[in-house]
Amino acid sequence: MPEFSDEAEVARAAKREARVELLARRRALPGPTRAAAAGRVQAELVTLVRRLRPRRMTAYVPVGSEPGGADLPEVLRNALPADAELLLPVLRADLDLDWAAYTGPDALVAGGRGLREPVGPRLGLAAVTEAELVVVPALAVDRRGRRLGRGGGSYDRVLARVPAATLTVVPLHDGELVEALPAEAHDRPVRAVVTPADGVRTLDDGPGTAQGVAPHTSAGRTRGA
């Protein structure tokens, strides 16, 4: 049911303000800075994928100033074992996410809200539950794993379906892992982030250290908090 309490409204207002600030900060990043950040995020995710060797994983096509670069799906697919499957989201009319296999950049089409989507058969809402690695977009994440999305609620629904043991990772720009974010009851935490400077970091107060991922690691180097 919808939340109508004063506390919930305060959280929603705080989220709106944070989104405006974070989006403006991303848009202000110079092109070379974005490109360098995308390269480092991709390299960290490739290292993670090669270590975990998931049989199925999910990702998305970053757009605009989102970290990771538009070629992120192709980079991840090339890092997967030959028999593994990379799924990308397909936005439904109700803003929930279906899934389809990524088979290459030529098999992507324009979707709703500026997204790029695969053209293959739809696998259903529950396809994400069988993924061993789930890469999730966000504008920011805090140290308890709470993420701030764009407000549509699509990934809150997705994360509600993902088993607790599954590794969920958010690519971020530097400075977007923050101490605390406003949250509502329906918000779902993630387990790790990847940033250009610090690589893959499991979250200190989140759902726990991900299997196969040491805390605060970057391309095989251990980092402190």
CA-atom Rg of the chain in angstroms? 17
Domain that holds residue 20: 6-222
8 A C-beta contact, residue 63 and residue 116: yes
Distance of CA 162 to the CA centre of its chain: 13
Q: Is residue 75 part of a domain?
A: yes
Q: Is residue 170 part of a domain?
A: yes
Compute the C-alpha angle 52/172/18, nearest 5°.
Answer: 140
C-alpha 106/C-alpha 215 separation (Å) is 37
Q: How high is the pLDDT of residue 188?
A: 87
Q: Is residue 159 part of a domain?
A: yes
Residue 129: CB atoms within 10 A of its CB come to 14
8 A C-beta contact, residue 117 and residue 111: yes
Q: How high is the pLDDT of residue 54?
A: 98
Q: How many domains is the chain partitioned into structurally?
A: 1
C-alpha 192/C-alpha 216 separation (Å) is 9
Residues 32-45, mean pLDDT to the nearest whole number: 96
8 A C-beta contact, residue 125 and residue 116: no
**If pLDDT is split at 50, 70 and 90, which confidence band does 114 have?**
confident
- 30 Cβ contact partners less than 8 Å away, ≥ 6 residues apart: none
Q: How high is the pLDDT of residue 12?
A: 84
Answer whether residue 28 shows pLDDT above 50: yes
What percent of the chain is predicted at pLDDT more than 90? 74
Bigger pLDDT: 14 vs 125: 125
Q: Is residue 194 part of a domain?
A: yes
Read off the pLDDT of residues 145-179 as tens digits, 9 standing for 90 and up: 999 998 888 999 999 999 999 999 999 999 999 99
Alpha helices in 124-220 (DSSP H): 154-161
Q: Is residue 1 part of a domain?
A: no
Out of 7-16, 70-79, 103-112, 152-161, which region has the weakest mean confidence (pLDDT)?
A: 7-16
Could you tell me the CATH number of the domain that includes residue 14? 3.40.50.10420
| Range with the largest mean pLDDT of 102-111, 199-208, 216-225 | 102-111
Q: Is residue 133 part of a domain?
A: yes
